[in-house]
Amino acid sequence: MSYLGLMNKTCTVQRATVARDAGGRMAPDYADHLTGVKCALIQLSAREQMAAQGWGINADFKVALPAGTDVRPKPTNSSSTALPDRLVINSVNYLVQDVNDKSGRGKTLVALVKRQV
């Protein structure tokens, strides 16, 4: 399925660095990495959410992006200190949990994301 025709929004991809907050604790600090990226935001169905949870992915939306977009998911290695990228769509933040079509063979890639509250 191609999501190219559905890409009616733009998003900002933010990359995280780790900084100390006022209390001295380590906290993520996000900065814009890519801006004006065409995208489509699609809520996962209950079936898709259950399937993702079966793979250990906690997501509630998928975001279709152009193939080759530099988006980093949550690391699969629990000992990694790397942080996932964040997508900002209509002033709402979504943490990237997983990215499909990492090979770039398709016309789009799909990021499974969790909305931040």
Superfamily of domain 4-115: Bacteriophage SPP1 head-tail adaptor protein (2.40.10.270)
% of the chain with per-residue pLDDT over 70: 90
Give residue for tokens 């709402």: 92
What average pLDDT does this structure show over 4-28? 87
By CB atoms closer than 10 A (0-12, 13-18, 19+), residue 93 is middle
CA distance 65 to 39: 5
Domain boundaries, the chain: 4-115
Per-residue pLDDT tens over the stretch 33-46 = 999 999 999 999 99
Q: Specify the DSSP element, H or E, that contains 33.
A: strand 26-43
**In angstroms, how far is the first alpha carbon of the chain from the final one?**
30
- Alpha helices by DSSP H, 1-117: 46-54
Which residue from 85, 114, 112, 78 is spatially nearest to 98, judged by alpha carbons? Answer: 112
Per-residue pLDDT tens over the stretch 71-97 = 999 777 765 668 899 999 999 999 999
- Residue 81's contacts (CB-CB under 8 Å, 6 or more residues apart) are 18
Residue 28, both tokens: 């993520």
Three-point CA angle 56, 42, 101, nearest 5°: 60
What average pLDDT does this structure show over 98-116? 83
Residue 98, both tokens: 């997983």
